[in-house]
Structure 1
Amino acid sequence: MRHRRFGKTNLNLSVFSLGTMRCLDSPQTTQNTIAKAISLGINHLETARGYGQSESYLGQALQDLAIPRQEIYITTKLSPSLNPLEMSQRIDQSLARLQVNYIDCLAIHGINTWKHLEAIANPNGCLASIQTAINQGKIRHLGFSTHGSLDLITAAIETDLFEFINLHYYYFFQRNQKAIALAAEKDMGIFIISPADKGGKLYSPPKKLQELCSPFTPLELNYRFLLSDSRITTLSVGAAIPEELIAPLKISNADRPLTEQETTIFNKLEQQLETTLSTDLCRQCHQCLPCPETINIPEILRLRNLAIAYEMEDYGQYRYRMLENAGHWFPGKKGDKCTDCGDCLPRCPENLPIPALLRDTHQRLKGKQRRRLWE
């Protein structure tokens, strides 16, 4: 397992981290998964108060496995909307659940809106309690996770309040490239959220995508896309059982630059996108926003791109279902809410028939509502 410096925290993290959001089956399954992860070289475990019993299960597993505290780095996450007293109480509760004296990294969980950022930047807000906890040795490093817009993410980075960032960035979603560059410029640790699942459900890829990526798997190529970027410190692996760690960690030493063969395949994927979508290709410039109906136009058309070019309908349906159901974690309305107002049309440099494409995507990807995992 390779290790990389986690930016200005100077922590030396394994290039894969165990995210424990899915470790909710039982304390024993969690313990088995953590034990396997550590045996394979993972030294960074990530959880959150909002992940059900995850903190408690993780804390008990570390006690039962008798893992020396100095050999493991722990990140947990707390809401940005807490007041100072609540933040102080939640920090102590997390310490108790994790059964540790300090938390290596505390991430503000989901700076997803401008109000979240304003709350954090307020000197009389929860940041004061966090700073007190840092002074007391309860917290060692502060960062944030985000599902927000690129403008919001870069604004949060520019505050210089944080030492690391957890964000979405994958081969099939490169919108946050500028945030990656800015975070690296600020010497922040960079943690990539859910590259297998949110990155395209690449653990169960469609046949078309498998053929285009051969002789590699789509999951392997996505990991290589990220590992070849030296600015990125670590990638989350959200294993629910020990067996789910095997495939990802087979390439845990493959942090070299992309090979000629890999680059050729990425070029082939780009060509497939261009050829298949032709004049309907959305290039993700985001100039169509804001939408008067708050429709998440770029994301909907990104999912359409993937469904048509690579037959990633299952992934598209999975993400599309979340619109109107996940609040600020995945904002915006679905394509069927388009009123044909035409506000977006003159702003699209590709002259796309956006209302028609939104309706087409809705028909392709609409599905039954499902509850989010941790609910």
Structure 2
Amino acid sequence: MRYRRFGKTEMLLSVFSLGAMRYLESAANAEKTIWHALEVGINHIETAQGYGKSEEFIGQAMRNGLSKQRDRFYLTTKIGPTKDADSMRRQIEQSLKKMNVDYVDNFDIHGINLYEHLDLVKDPNGCMKAVREAIDQKMLGHVGFSTHGSLEVILDTIRTGLFESVNLHYYYFNQRNAPAVQLAHEKDMGVFIISPSDKGGMLYNPSEELSGVCYPYTALYMCDRFLLSDPRVHTLSLGAANPSEVDSHQDAWDNDAPMSELEAAVLDCMNRRYTLLENDRCSQCYQCLPCPEGINIPEVLRLRNLAIGFDMVEFGKYRYKMFENAGHWFPGNKAIRCTDCGDCLPRCPENLEIPRLLRDTHDRLHGEEGRRLWE
């Protein structure tokens, strides 16, 4: 296992962190998963108040002996922004009590996804007042934020200077937030990548086409290496649902060097798969927004890019069904809402026939409705 300095926090984190959202089956399963993660060298457990019973499961593991190993790992929890300090103060106390700990090494404001959320944390008498008090009282070590928001919201949140780290989406198959990674690097912030093997492409279940183009490596390995070969990235969430899933990243966690010639050649092959889209590839410039019907056009067309370029249809269906069902965590209406108004057409530098491509995406990916995991 490799370790990296998590920006100005100075915490030396393993390049994979145990994300605790998915081991919700039982307290016993959670405990086994945590212990196995520690055995392989993972030294960071990351949870959230909103992750079902995750904090309670961690608390039970603490009572069963994990507390004796407290010096072997860092612990992070996350709480959403609140309108007042008192509410945040109560919730911090509740989280610590659930986890049976006196402090957490790192604390994140969970889900700064909208400018309304950013306004809450910028209020000097709001939730951040309670966070600062908790830091002074040694209940919290460092403070960062997590986000599923737009690039503009992420950049403006980083610019506040209120945070030491950021949890964000950034993957080979979705590089929209690259400027945020760079700005965080310039400000010496820790960079934590959210769910790279799941939200990053459902890489544990790749299509035959994706597996083929990544040969002789796996898709999971190549996308891990895309991130870990970048020194600006510090740790990737490993959201294991059970102990066996921890080991799925073993080939990558000992290799954070620059890409080898063979790895770079495979990455080039992956890049060239987009030629299958011919003149219908969306370049993700985002100039088509805003859409009068609230369609997240770039994200819809990104899923189409992947479905055609890599036959990532199942992943596309998995993400597409979240539209209209996940609020600000995954915003936008389904492509079928397009009215052919043409508002986006003159703003597209590729001159894409956007309404046609939206309908095509809906036909390819529409399936059963979805919800966020812990709902």
| Counterpart Cα distance in 2 of 1:263 and 1:139 | 41
SS at match of 1:127: helix
| Counterpart Cα distance in 1 of 2:28 and 2:166 | 30
User: What is aligned with 2:40?
Assistant: 40
SS at match of 1:8: helix
Letter aligned with residue 26 of structure 1? S
User: What is aligned with 1:162?
Assistant: 163
| Counterpart Cα distance in 2 of 1:86 and 1:61 | 27
Q: Which moved more, 1:229-238 or 1:74-83?
A: 74-83
Cα-Cα RMSD: 0.9
User: What is aligned with 1:7?
Assistant: 7
User: What is aligned with 1:254?
Assistant: 255
SS at match of 1:251: helix
| Counterpart Cα distance in 1 of 2:371 and 2:269 | 36
Q: Deviations over 1:45-100 (max 9, x none)?
A: 00000001100101221331334222210010001134211100000011111111
User: What is aligned with 1:139?
Assistant: 140
Q: State TM-score, norm by structure 1.
A: 0.98
User: What is aligned with 2:94?
Assistant: 93
User: What is aligned with 2:332?
Assistant: 332
Contact persistence 1:49–1:55 (CA under 8 A)? yes
User: What is aligned with 1:271?
Assistant: 272
| Counterpart Cα distance in 1 of 2:287 and 2:29 | 46
User: What is aligned with 1:360?
Assistant: 360
Matches of residues 188-337 of structure 1 in structure 2 within 5 Å? 188-274=189-275, 276-337=276-337
SS at match of 2:7: coil
Letter aligned with residue 340 of structure 1? D
Contact persistence 1:104–1:141 (CA under 8 A)? yes
Q: State TM-score, norm by structure 2.
A: 0.98
Give the aligned length. 374
| Counterpart Cα distance in 1 of 2:363 and 2:98 | 45
Q: CA deviation at 1:299?
A: 0.2
SS at match of 1:68: helix
| Counterpart Cα distance in 2 of 1:98 and 1:82 | 24
SS at match of 2:13: strand
Matches of residues 107-126 of structure 1 in structure 2 within 5 Å? 107-126=108-127
SS at match of 1:143: strand
Contact persistence 1:16–1:249 (CA under 8 A)? no
| Counterpart Cα distance in 2 of 1:115 and 1:169 | 23
User: What is aligned with 2:129?
Assistant: 128
SS at match of 1:264: helix
Q: CA deviation at 1:21?
A: 0.3
1:78 maps onto 2:79 in alignment: yes
Contact persistence 2:345–2:352 (CA under 8 A)? yes
User: What is aligned with 1:28?
Assistant: 28
Letter aligned with residue 23 of structure 2? C
User: What is aligned with 2:187?
Assistant: 186
SS at match of 2:224: helix
| Counterpart Cα distance in 2 of 1:25 and 1:216 | 31
Using the aligned pairs only, state the percent identity.
55
Letter aligned with residue 253 of structure 2? S
Q: CA deviation at 1:3?
A: 0.6
| Counterpart Cα distance in 2 of 1:250 and 1:285 | 34
| Counterpart Cα distance in 2 of 1:196 and 1:91 | 29
Letter aligned with residue 29 of structure 1? N
Contact persistence 1:35–1:65 (CA under 8 A)? no
| Counterpart Cα distance in 1 of 2:82 and 2:348 | 36
| Counterpart Cα distance in 1 of 2:223 and 2:65 | 32
**Structure 1 residues 182, 239: closer, same or farther in 2, change over 3 A?**
same
Q: CA deviation at 1:339?
A: 0.8
Contact persistence 2:221–2:251 (CA under 8 A)? no
Letter aligned with residue 20 of structure 2? T
| Counterpart Cα distance in 2 of 1:26 and 1:8 | 35
| Counterpart Cα distance in 2 of 1:33 and 1:103 | 20
| Counterpart Cα distance in 1 of 2:164 and 2:114 | 20
| Counterpart Cα distance in 1 of 2:243 and 2:83 | 34
SS at match of 2:9: coil
Contact persistence 2:326–2:371 (CA under 8 A)? no
Contact persistence 1:30–1:241 (CA under 8 A)? yes
